[in-house]
Amino acid sequence: MFDDLPLFAPMPHYVAGCDTSFEAAKSLRSDLSALRQRVLSTVQAAPHGITCERLEGITGLKHQTASARLKELQDLGQIEWRIDPRTGKHHRAVNVSGRSAKLYYAV
């Protein structure tokens, strides 16, 4: 099912000029395909969209890992944010904190 997806970017996102961020990205490199597939599967299972916080709760991933994989999947064109045509703003949902967060959708 996932064989046709471009999930094998050469390097995960990291903060340029930050040695610890670069080292963390290198250490994740071998696990990226499985992590991206896990995140993508979770987003695909949420037809009404999913927040990063909800994704973290379902997968057990830390925020930094989940949000980075979401960004990579967006860059790869596998997930997206959607605009509500009535308001012209991104679809959102309220997090536990009471703040609203953008919803991610599978493409």
Asked which of 6-10, 30-34, 57-61, 72-76 is least confident by mean pLDDT, the reply is: 6-10
Distance of CA 20 to the CA centre of its chain: 21
Structural tokens at position 33: 């395909």
Domain encompassing residue 45: 19-106
What is the pTM (predicted TM-score) of this model? Answer: 0.74
For residue 12, tell me if it sits in a domain. no
Measure Cα distances from 17 to 20, 23, 67 in Å. 9, 11, 20
Does a structural domain hold residue 51?
Answer: yes
Of 17, 66, 13, give the one whose Cα is nearest residue 43: 66
Q: What is the mean pLDDT of the chain?
A: 86
CATH code of residue 89? 1.10.10.10
Total domains in the chain come to 1
- The predicted-structure confidence for 60-103, as pLDDT tens digits, reads as follows 999 999 999 999 999 999 999 999 999 999 999 999 999 999 99
| Element spanning 32, H or E | helix 32-44
